[in-house]
Amino acid sequence: MTLEELLNLKENQLISVKQSDEVILAIKNMVDCKVGSLLVMSDNGEFIGILTERDVLRFSAERDGDLAGARIEEMMTRDLMVATPDCSIDQAMSMMTEHRFRHLPVMDAGKPIGMVSIGDLVKAKLKDVTVEVKYLRDYISA
């Protein structure tokens, strides 16, 4: 299965914030949308990175929990890996495991088309394995 196929199966809404927004807005968006990361766009609409729960926690720890007035651009992840729609689930899982991150933007022609989490990938992989086991059992029983 490719990431494009996975994105087509899941509720794929692009949730983004602007780099100049206050981090409190981003936290509210993550909670409301039940996600662990957001796409970050420049003030002129270009994709420039992501903001994750871990980014917020690290920044908060450095400032003794004081997030008042903090902007997303102060804590976001800019240097990140991205995937293309034709990337396989196995390739994405390998990339995420090797480089120790949990959210992967999917880009097509330089534009974000979705985001997958390690949880999305594990769920899809588990579904594939479950179907394969069913077919093997049916084959053996026949």
Domain borders along the chain are: 3-141
pTM: predicted TM-score of the whole model, two decimal places: 0.85
Query: pLDDT, tens digit, for every residue of 101-117?
Result: 999 999 999 999 999 99
Unique residue bearing structure tokens 């093997």: 136
* Domain 3-141 superfamily per CATH: CBS-domain (3.10.580.10)
CB-based contacts of 114, cutoff 8 Å, min separation 6: 3, 7, 12, 14, 105, 106
The amino acid at residue 29 is N
The encoded tokens of residue 74 equal: 């102060």
At 46-71, the pLDDT tens digits run 999 999 999 999 999 998 989 999 99
Q: Which helix (H) or strand (E) holds 37?
A: strand 37-41
